[in-house]
Structure 1
Amino acid sequence: MGVFKCRFSGYSVSFSPYSGSRIAVGCAQHFGIVGNGSIHVLENSEPYMIETYSALTQDNVFDICWNEGHENQILVASGDKTLKLFDINHSQPLLSLQGHQAELFGVHSNYQLTHLALTSSYDTTLKVWDLSQGQCVCDLQEHQGIVYAGIWHPKDNQRFLSASADKLAKIWDLRAGRSIGVAQGHAGEVLSCDWDKYNESFVTASVDQSLRVWDCRNLSSPMSILTGHSLAIRRVKFSPYSSQLIASASYDMTVRVWDLSRPQSPIIHSHHTEFAVGVDFSLFDAKIIASCGWDGKVCIWPYEQPVRF
């Protein structure tokens, strides 16, 4: 349906919760090793996407998401160790919050307590930030490796997931100030995770090239193991419309959409010529998906159809 070419390598793509045609993209120069970063806001307009906002950052952008409490605000996980809050009506960030000791790899906005943001970092910690106060309100230090992602629960505003290089995914409760569950079973670093929006389950993605679906009530073994990618899986998303659909983006340059009722037959899309690292489902159209990759391309398409750009 649409394609846009960014100057830098794409790392993260996020559909707006307020507009069905709007997406945000976070990018990093020199494949995220060193250099500047950039953020872009795009409007989907066939056959191309139109850029309506962009900002250059002093360091790489490794993750991006919309602020659930404001239609024009974007949260950015930066390589300069800060969490940044941008408004698309301003060129400079509204906030730049310091506290992590190394690069931020993940950021997520709380769906209900919209003043809260969650970050994950190379420094092995997760932090919860109060954007209204501009400060960290909780520092969590259980993981023994890089924390690549932290994702708020879609219904319980006090719980969240984490994915770490220590090969673990953890369920956390902010009220307890600690983890309350551990999913263990991957043979490599866990790079991404996401909640099922309808059931008490979640999915994890790993360097071991597999996805695992877990039941929160029994973490002794996964409910499903999805295999087929030939390299590490960098990002995973549950569909906001169905407990059966999962999208994954991999270093094998493909994006796959998995139906848990037919796990051996994923829909495979090969739009990228470098690592595919970002993927998201539209919140307004059940059949639309977006991805980004190190080739700089941002693609939007109906996932059920074999579209090539």
Structure 2
Amino acid sequence: MPKRKDKSEDKKAPSKGKKGPKGKQTEETNQEQTKDNLPAENGEAKTEEVLVQELEQHQVLSNKHVAPDHLLQICKRIGPILDKEIPPSISRVNSLLGAGRQSLLRTAKDCRNTVWKGSAFAALHRGRPPEMPVNYGTPPNLVEVHRAKQLTGYAKFSSSFPGSMYQHVKMHRRILGHLSSVYCVAFDRTGHRIFTGSDDCLVKIWSTHNGRLFATLRGHSAEISDMAVNYENTMIAAGSCDKMIRVWCLRTCAPVAVLHGHTGSITSLQFSPMVKGSLRYMVSTGADGTVCFWQWDTDSMKFKYVDALLINLDAILGLSKISQDKVDSIQFSNGGDRFISGSRDGTARIWRFEQAEWRSILLDMSDRLLGDTCAEEDKFMKPKVTMIAWNQNDNYVVTAVNNHLLKVWNSSTGQLLHDLVGHADEVFVLETHPFDCRIMLSAGHDGNIFIWDITKGTKTKHYFNMIEGQGHGAVFDCKFSPDGQHFACTDSHGHLLIFGFGCSRPYEKIPDQMFFHTDYRPLIRDSNNYVLDEQTQQAPHLMPPPFLVDVDGNPHPTKYQRLVPGRENCADEHLIPQLGYVATSDGEVVEQVIGQQTVDQDEPGLEPSILDGMIRQLQLEQDQRTGADQESAPSGPQNAEGTPRRALGKVLFRASLASELSEIVQKNLSVTPRFLSLGGVGKPLEYDTQCSGQVGKVVIAQMLDLGDLKKISRRSK
């Protein structure tokens, strides 16, 4: 490329020759103008020269049609436009390689930060939930808060959110998802998911907003006693009466750890909010009287046993000297500076550590309000505290007594304020609202669920858990969602009840009974107590998406199968389950879902197996017998499903075929099949004996020492 002419030569050219007075005056004028523009021109000229030299050195300008300063001109054009749309942090300073608001590559999304306005902040607490919007920047300062109050006027929380608002809470859905009582329910940190832990050894994950069943976590061999979600909302831990704690990943449902440390049932679990680099902590308590501390690393996701303490609360606090009976409940205040203990002797105490000793305020359950008379049955009943709870701002304490009363106390003075009447049985659930200090939720064995305004001592909302044909269901646990818009309850019959504000239409798209067909399959355990599905020999979280069935194991229609995660976009033929005969431990043969129905074709290059020949022979014999029976049988009324004799023939044929094949397999292969799966091509749910051309396919899915049909067929050769 030819070199550009030096600008210094151009400036020297006019100076040659003689200069007259007029030329001298013109030169002086030009020099004055040059002095004014000299710094800007010199800076631009040097920048341009450096840019051109670098481009020539690296041979970037190989295309002659591209001007040497093309990139510089583009940057000059983009800069003012970008500064107008997204102002930089420092005006008139641009950088192509800068970051944030100083970069020429910035976008509005990168610099999004909504500025607080007094009116917006005021409107935030006038009919809207009191959570800050996600896209807001730093909180408003004190001046902006006071300015907002001047613009809109002062208002108490109780007037902005009247207690009558909770009268609009309704039950969205009651779902049967467990075969036994459900004693544990919890929300995740976002409130989008609900976890239930049942006596059927399962932990299930549900959607808060539409009731979908997301996953089933299997592994425990005894009742689930408590659950906890970590603060990062990435894991759930479940304790059980099998003395173990299992931890799962919430993203993949994969097992993270199986923790052994207690010699008794796990009674409670809690993740610690303390953070030490990448280390986190969890604490668990057991029926053996020990408190175990567990450490885990967020990088390696490995848990480690740290320490265990043998706790005797009576000895530490001297409760045994003060209470005349067992202290069986304790709860710290939300502020953490006090706690309340409940005893079976009919008293509770509010404890505070002052002047190097524990001081307490006595709450006597036999105390009554002025004007109240003692009922006849209460004269012969010894009061006992069944449950205790603090309200959200720790100003009140609520105690549940075995005479079915709830008592509201002033936590500072110990004065009895209200008696809440409504329950007809003992109350074991007291749940405070996450941000409204007036609201308390109670539930009990009588099936009643109450929302109380404890500041007024009034009942705001009542729901009775009546189950059609089964009476009422005792409510065992309740929890509010973090935003206070929902709460979930579980009962003695295996139901999950979802309550909340707003429309219930999304919950109408799910069935009343939601189980996965793999929920209660047998498990194989290794030496570390990790589990595999016995039938498929796979870890539960690696198995294909299951099918949705009812409480009896019958598959739901196709529209409900699409609710299963992983089956939303499946073709209709992939949503039809395959049924099989399963032998139970009692020796009874039942029909249930064992997998997905597929139309398999014979693999090329393989000879027909012995089992296939047996099946065809049995099919042919059955077709001949059925044809002879139909010729001799008198004609009768037909319906859409055929004659009752034909329907009965289908059932008997399936049962007899399963029995005969079991005997043949046991005789020829010297193994005992655990169950047989029968399915016809195109009709997976029944085997039609009228179609002689239809050959049933038999899958021996689990043998004592062999695998699936292909393995059996190859070995039988």
**If the TM-score is normalised by the length of the shorter chain, which range does it land in?**
0.5 to 0.7
Q: Which has the higher helix share?
A: 2
Give deviations 1:8-29, integer Å, cap 9, x for gaps: x7655566778974758596x9
Where 1:47 maps in the other structure, the secondary structure is: strand
Asked if the contact 2:429/2:444 (under 8 Å) is kept, the reply is: yes
Equivalent position amino acid for 1:136 in 2: L
Larger deviation, residues 88-97 vs 178-187: 88-97
- Match of 1:215? 500
Answer whether contact 2:361 2:413 (CA < 8 A) is retained.
Answer: no
Q: 1:227 Cα shift?
A: 6.5
Q: Distance in 2 between matches of 1:181 and 1:14?
A: 31
Which of 254, 259, 262 aligns to 1:5? It is 262
Q: TM-score, normalised by structure 2?
A: 0.26
Matches of 1:124 and 1:23, distance apart in 2: 33
Q: In structure 2, which of residues 337, 348, 361 is the aligned counterpart of residue 83 of structure 1?
A: 348
Taking structure 1 as reference, are residues 10 and 214 closer, same or farther at Cα in structure 2, changes over 3 Å only?
A: same
Residue 94 (structure 1) aligns with: 360
Partner of residue 334, structure 2: 68
Q: Output aligned runs, 1:76-155, within 5 Å.
A: 76-86=341-351, 94-99=360-365, 102-111=383-392, 113-155=393-435
Q: Percent identity?
A: 21
Distance 1:54 1:13, change over 3 A: farther
3-state SS of paired residue (1:5): coil
* SS of match in other structure, 1:51: strand
Q: Is the 8 A contact 2:351 2:359 kept in 1?
A: yes
1:191·1:207 contact (CA, 8 Å) conserved in 2? yes
Counterpart residue type for residue 183 of structure 1: Y
| 2:486 aligned residue | 201
CA distance in 2, matches of 1:174, 1:77: 19
Q: State the partner residue of 1:156.
A: 436
The answer to which structure has the higher strand fraction is: 1
Query: Is the contact made by 2:448 and 2:464 (CA closer than 8 Å) also made in structure 1?
Result: yes
**Counterpart pick for 1:47 among 305, 312, 321:** 305
Tell me the distance in 1 between the aligned counterparts of 2:514 and 2:293: 34
Distance of aligned partners of 1:116 and 1:176 in 2 relative to their CA distance in 1, 3 Å threshold: closer
8 Å CA contact 1:188–1:207 kept in 2: the answer is: yes
RCO comparison, higher one (Cα < 8 Å, 6+): 1
2:362 and 2:498 map into 1 onto residues whose CA distance is: 35
Aligned residue in 1 for 2:55? none
Change beyond 3 A, Cα 1:145–1:55? same
The root-mean-square deviation of aligned C-alpha atoms, in Å, is: 4.1
Specify the alignment match of 1:192 in structure 2.
477
Separation (CA, whole Å) in 2 of partners of 1:124 and 1:87: 28
Distance apart, 1:138 and its partner CA = 1.9
Aligned length: 218
**Contact 1:161-1:169 at 8 Å conserved across structures:** yes
Could you say if the C-alpha distance between residues 17 and 94 of structure 1 is closer, same or farther in structure 2, counting changes exceeding 3 Å?
farther
Q: CA deviation at 1:181?
A: 0.8
State the AA in 1 paired with 2:363.
Answer: L
| Matched AA of 1:70 | G
CA distance in 1, matches of 2:359, 2:564: 44
Question: Following TM superposition, by how much is the alpha carbon of 1:62 offset from its aligned partner in structure 2, in angstroms?
Answer: 4.1
Q: Measure, in 1, the Cα distance between the counterparts of 2:344 and 2:405.
A: 15
**1:299 maps to what in 2?**
none
- For residue 168 of structure 1, the aligned residue among 429, 435, 448 is 448
Name the larger-Rg structure.
2
Match of 1:234 in 2: none
Please state how far the C-alpha of 1:96 moved relative to its aligned partner: 3.8
In structure 1, what residue type is equivalent to 2:413?
A: Q
Query: 1:154, CA displacement in angstroms?
Result: 0.7
Contact 1:110 1:157 in 2 (8 A): yes
Q: In 1, distance between residues paired with 2:353 and 2:266?
A: 19
Q: CA 1:199/1:88 → structure 2, altered by over 3 Å: closer, same or farther?
A: same
The answer to whether the Cα contact below 8 Å between 1:145 and 1:166 also exists between their aligned partners in 2 is yes
Using structure 1 for the length normalisation, give the TM-score. Answer: 0.56
**3-state SS of 1:133 partner:** coil
